[in-house]
Structure 1
Amino acid sequence: MLVLACAPVTLAQIPENNKADSALVQQLETSWLSAERTTDAALLDRVMADDFVGIGANGQTPGKAQLLKNWRSQAGQAPPYTVETSDMRVFVLGETAVATYTKTYTAKENGNIAHEDVTDIFTRQHGSWKLRLSRSSPH
């Protein structure tokens, strides 16, 4: 059984390297969002670890190969929705980083809105951060 305990931490207590790593992970999240808006499979390929697993709000669990196949078939096509993120927080724990945020999708056709809570887990591989697992659930 794994038990995690969290204590309040102020920015002054966060080591400088954690701040830099946190900024890098936030930039990767921003890049991922940009790739989603433009269906850029090449960028997704660079961000995801080879053993990436996604656990979607719909219960599907695509791996990297399946996601890239889907994105490549739609390369360059704008999705039928807009997407934004909010409330992003990044926690760096050594060679692992966890990003949490809310994603808001707005359908272009009818304006319907859907929200997802997202948790992404990154690990540092050979000096680079890679997205290893992404879990989303209805907000």
Structure 2
Amino acid sequence: MVRRLVTVFYWIIALEFLVGAVTKYWPGTGPLGSDYAAKFTGWGYPAWVRFLVGSIELVCAVLLVIPNRRARFLGAGSLVLLLVGAVTTHIVNHDPVSESTAAPLHLVITAVFALVNWPAHWTDLLPGRRGRVGAATGG
């Protein structure tokens, strides 16, 4: 039961980032959000950065729903880095609280996801690794 709830939570957060990625690609003000082309240029970023951010959100959303700790860690860890930039952008530009609450909230959630899926050793992130030899004995 708990495992299913956790899986549903991963899917909900991934869906939110999927919607966020779609809004980054949407030209003008779309049905799902505001005009990110204007927002990104207003924040001082080149117009193409919104596509980069949307692509990162899309890839990370897919990684979050793969039932593999390594994939979930890479997705959540990448989102933590992206969201630190988003929170910093909102702070530097003095955005109103109504527009600035989603980024720190999602930063905390993805940081928890990253901590829960933290690998025992950095080499566990490499392809084909199932765990270090001697990791249980410290050798």
The TM-score with structure 2 as length reference comes to 0.32
Whichever structure has more helix as a proportion of its residues is 2
The TM-score with structure 1 as length reference comes to 0.32
Whichever structure has more strand as a proportion of its residues is 1
